[in-house]
Structure 1
Amino acid sequence: MTAVPAGTANWSSSGTGAPAPARPAVPWLTIIPLAAMMAYADGFWMVSLRGAVGAIERTQEPFASWLRESTVLLPAFVLAVIAAVTLALRWFGPLLAGKKAFLTTALLVAAAGTVAGTVILAASEAWDYALQHDLMGSLHHASSVQSVEQLDQASLGLQLTAFGYGVGLLLVTNLVVTGWTVAIRGGRLDVSRQQKATPRRTPRRAVTGRARTVATDLRQTLAAVALFGSAAIHLAVIPDHLSHWVVASAFFLALALAEVAGGVLLLGRPGLNVLVAVAVASVVPLVLWVWSRTSGLPFGPNSNAPEPVGLADVAACLLELGTLVIALVLLRARRRETGEPERRTAASAHLRALAVVGAIAIGSLGVAGAVPGWLGELPSSGDTTHSVTH
């Protein structure tokens, strides 16, 4: 734990000539090790529980499954740790002073990792039960209905018991891992790092303009990351569609290229036409997805047949919906041009990281769900039908 020496704060000259403290920035050297340790440690217990009580379809190659799934889920744990240090930053300030603040922050980190692991474990156990339920249904013709129902109830009870044990294991593991990681780092647990500001004087007009664009820059960055995530998901589903419907693969390729181009333009200074194009590129696949999952598209190999909902298409739709909302907000702000400055808060860098890492986490789950076998034979969007939607 680092102390706060008196008179060591970094100061820089603002546009008004008054001194301004250096802005807190995200301590990635603290967040990444903590998140990685919890992701791979929790992933070990999840795969172990699956091997003990999970569906047989998901118990093959345990080491490869642990390595692959823990890597895919790493952004979710990064998101959890950022949320914990952001809360600690608001409670205790940019530097932890005293044992109470230090221990509370460590407990927050372990609790946040446990919450993330618990949500993932619940989804894994639910999927195992669904697969086992289908297997019990296939035994209907070979066994009595009563015995099938008994087996199904026993399977549900087993999954609930495994979930309870798993939550306890995750909590204890994350407490140990957090303490161990902090000890390896020499007892340091940073909730922020001081980002030095430039010492030169900045004109008042430039300072006001920069403050006004803080929120706009955050929205543009988040929309760009969401577009890149959607593009990655669309590229991942192309191989699955090539052998069934080439038109769908061509659509996904064109859509991915358009999303990448839109994301790149959003990282610069997008004009009105770019924002409109981004909104259109987001709303079109959303409309096609709703159409295909309700009544079915009137064309393609499985015309007029509703398609099942999968992890990849849900992740892509979440990212596209977020992009659409941000594009509409930016379009509205562009028209209004109120000129009111938007001030940067002490946790703005952390909030920016939360938003961006959240989009990355959704994108990584979507890509994993689009590749057959990556998450234990989860059905991809092209397993049963092959339209030009996710």
Structure 2
Amino acid sequence: MTAAPAGTAHWSSSGTGASAPARPAVPWLTVIPLAAMMAYADGFWIVSLRGAVGAIERTQEPFASWLRESTVLLPAFVLAVIAAVTLALRWFGPVLAGKKAFLTTALLVAAAGTVAGTVILAASEAWDYALQHDLMGSLHHASSVQSVEQLDQASLGLQLAAFGYGVGLLLLTNLVVTGWTVAIRGGRLDVSRRQKGRRKDVLRPGWTSGWVRGRTGATDLRQTIAAVALFGCAAIHLAVIPDHVNHWVVASVFFLALALAEVAGGVLLLGRPGLNVLVAVGVTSVVPLVLWVWSRTSGLPFGPNSNVAEPAGLADVAACLLELGTLVTAVVLLRARRGGTGGTERHTAASAHLRALAVVGVMALGSLGVAGAVPGWLGDLDTSGNSNHSATH
């Protein structure tokens, strides 16, 4: 990174008046178009391959499936593009100088999008094979064991072949899409942009001797991540309420109360939370985690399906990962407070790119969880092998 230009110097944490380098901001006008183009282009091939070799349950309404799934997976491609841009920023600096830096960055973007598309394609093919495998199992009584095994092996081989072809298609498509997008933008491929209206640090008396750094509106990166994770959990819990109303109203009330508590905790984390807020955030995260583990292992001792272990689904796994991350973050902030390091007063030294990577990653996980809970978007695979849209949370 280059040093801050004249006129952007600000006071350091030591109060000596030394200037600090400005952190380059994420070029969202570059990231969003590239991610969107690759998300919808790759989604077209994934849905097309599913229509050719996938399970019949997942081949209905291909256009609607392409539109829904590409939209849901857009944050994953945003994450991939930001990662590529961050790497290019570290290698070449905030300004791409020369054809080598430009072409390398374009290839990094295409490669990152291909990695994201490949992971999604692998998950889709694995899901199709699981559905087809269970279908072969249901034919066990109608056919010989040998014929069922042969059909199962043929299904696996077909999915692997489709995956191989798909990876090649994704790579070629992302190379073309990246070139088109850059050309449409007039040949511009920015890895950073100059921050506008940067907040100035001011010196103000601290609670202890000496001077400490004051930031107006600065939020610790850990607080931001935890807040976004709580908002994602709240969205998932709100999305699963309709499915629980039909068979257990108590669960719906619990999820509504939990979602409201998570939204409140997220809002407080974006400010200047005290110890009580951090403890409350930890409790809000650990309670649903304990209940989830209990319900998926031995089953809850109450409710309509008491003492019966429930299957895990996409929505509940995503919510648990977000809750676990929030719990760990709350514990870290509490330890920082008790250790006298200032806790949330301490500003995490992370560039705007790394901050965006963390936040978008959490958002991507949350969007997957919401999609897995909403009927008609992404369905969970139940124990019978049927694709349904019930959110087992």
Same fold (TM over 0.5): yes
Aligned to 2:98: 98
Q: Does 1:37 align with 2:40?
A: no
Q: 2:133 matched to 1:129?
A: no
Match of 1:154 in 2: 154
What letter corresponds to residue 378 of structure 2 in structure 1? L
* Residue number among 353, 358, 379 corresponding to 1:355 in the alignment: 358
Q: Return the offset for 1:377.
A: 6.0
Tell me the amino acid that sits aligned with residue 227 of structure 1.
L
Counterpart in 1 of 2:258? 255
Offset of residue 17 of structure 1: 4.4
- Alpha-carbon distance change, 209 to 157 in structure 1, aligned in 2, over 3 angstroms: same
Residue identity in the other structure for 1:12: T
User: What letter is aligned with 1:23?
Assistant: R
The match for 1:209 is: 213
1:305-334: CA deviation from partner (whole Å, max 9, x where unpaired): 111111111000000000000000000111
CA distance, structure 1, for counterparts of residue 341 and residue 148 of structure 2? 66
TM (norm. structure 1) is 0.91
Paired residue total: 379
The corresponding residue for 2:170 is 170
Tell me how far apart the structure 2 counterparts of residues 121 and 184 of structure 1 sit (CA, whole Å): 28
Alignment partner of 1:315 out of 301, 315, 318: 318
For 1:14, which of 3, 10, 14 is the aligned residue? 10
The structure-2 alpha-carbon separation of the partners of 1:91 and 1:378, relative to structure 1 and needing over 3 Å to count, comes to: same
Instruction: Map Cα deviations across residues 245-273 of structure 1 (whole Å, 9 max, x no partner).
Output: 10111111110010001001111111111
Question: What are the ranges of 5 or more consecutive residues in structure 2 without an aligned counterpart?
Answer: none
Distance 1:97 1:205, change over 3 A: farther
**Structure 2 match to 1:89:** 89
| 1:60 equivalent in structure 2 | 60
2:336–2:342 Cα contact (<8 Å) kept: no
Q: How far is the alpha carbon of 1:38 from its aligned partner? A: 0.3
1:372–1:379 Cα contact (<8 Å) kept = no
Alignment identity in percent?
83
Amino acid at match of 1:151: L
- 1:203 deviates by 2.9
Alpha-carbon distance between aligned partners in 2 of 1:64 and 1:361, rounded to the nearest angstrom: 20
Instruction: Describe the shift of the 1:339–1:255 C-alpha distance in structure 2 as closer, same or farther (beyond 3 A).
Output: closer
Let me know the Cα RMSD of the aligned residues.
2.7
For 2:185, the equivalent position in structure 1 comes to: 185
Structure 1 residue identity aligned to 2:10: S
What is the rounded CA distance, in whole Å, between the counterparts of 2:198 and 2:317 in structure 1?
Answer: 43
Shift of residue 12 of structure 1?
1.5
| Partners of 2:358 and 2:19 in 1: CA distance | 30
Q: Which residue of 2 aligns with 1:228?
A: 231
1:327 correspondence with 2:330: yes
Shift of 1:373: 3.3
Please give the alpha-carbon distance, in whole angstroms, between the structure 1 residues aligned to 2:342 and 2:230.
Answer: 28
Partner of 1:243: 246
Question: What's 1:73 paired with?
Answer: 73
Instruction: Tell me which protein shows more helix as a share of its residues.
Output: 1
Please give the per-residue CA displacement for 1:66-85, whole angstroms capped at 9, x wherever unaligned: 00000000000000001111
Match of 1:3 in 2: none
Work out whether residues 199 and 215 of structure 2, in 8 Å CA contact, stay in contact via their aligned partners in 1.
Answer: no
- Paired residues of 1:213 and 1:342 also in contact (CA < 8 A): no
1:204 offset after TM fit, Å? Answer: 7.5
User: What CA distance in whole angstroms lies between the structure 2 residues aligned with 1:41 and 1:199?
Assistant: 39
CA contact (8 A) 1:114 1:174 kept: yes
Distance 2:155 2:299 in 1: 34
TM-score by length of structure 2 reads 0.90
1:338 Cα offset (Å): 3.1
Partner of 1:286: 289
Which stretch of structure 1 is more off in the superposition, 170-179 or 21-30?
21-30
Separation in 2, partners of 1:335, 1:377: 42
Higher relative contact order (CA 8 A, sep 6+): 1
Cα distance per residue 1:138-159 (max 9 Å; x no partner): 1111111111110000000000
Deviations 1:12-57, CA, capped at 9 Å, x for gaps: 1322445555430010000000000000000000000000000000
Contact conserved, 1:12 with 1:199, CA < 8 A, in 2?
no
- CA deviation profile, 1:119-162 (whole Å, cap 9, x unmatched): 00000000000000111111111111111110000000000000
1:192 is paired with a residue of what secondary structure? coil
Relative to structure 1, is the Cα distance of residues 40 and 304 closer, same or farther in structure 2, using a 3 angstrom cutoff? same
Q: Distance in 1 between matches of 2:222 and 2:30?
A: 26
In the other structure, the counterpart of 2:309 is 306
Matches within 5 A, 1:351-390: 351-375=354-378, 378-379=381-382, 390=393
Q: CA deviation at 1:202?
A: 3.6
Whether the 8 Å contact between 2:203 and 2:213 is mirrored in structure 1 is no
Q: Distance in 2 between matches of 1:11 and 1:77?
A: 36
Matched position secondary structure for 2:73: helix
